[in-house]
Amino acid sequence: MDATQTTTDNLWRIQSTTERDFDTDFPLYWSNENGWVARPSSDTFTTEEKSVLNLPIGGRWLPNIL
């Protein structure tokens, strides 16, 4: 396991349990700057951030799996 994989494994994304993309019907993910967005535009969070941040309404933590 290389350092890049370890870093990616320790990151999280916030996925919406209610908000979906109009065109694809895929779930949306959280961006601190823009709110709910498509996954490529969303933010990642460290395990430390996950332990102290509050989720947005309708959000859930998911591991950052490619």
pLDDT in tens, the chain (66 residues): 444 444 556 899 999 999 999 999 999 999 999 999 999 999 999 999 999 999 999 999 999 986
- Predicted TM-score (pTM) of the model is 0.84
Per the structure, the complete domain to which residue 35 belongs is given by: 3-63
Given this model, what pLDDT does residue 65 score?
86
| The two three-digit tokens of residue 41, written as one number | 């535009």
Measured CA to CA, the distance from residue 31 to residue 44 in angstroms comes to: 9
| The two three-digit tokens of residue 11, written as one number | 């990151």
Measured CA to CA, the distance from residue 9 to residue 5 in angstroms comes to: 6
- Determine the residue type at 11: L
Q: Determine contact, residues 59/30, Cβ cutoff 8 Å.
A: yes
| The two three-digit tokens of residue 53, written as one number | 């941040």
Given this model, what pLDDT does residue 66 score?
64
The number of distinct structural domains making up the chain is: 1
Given this model, what pLDDT does residue 2 score?
41
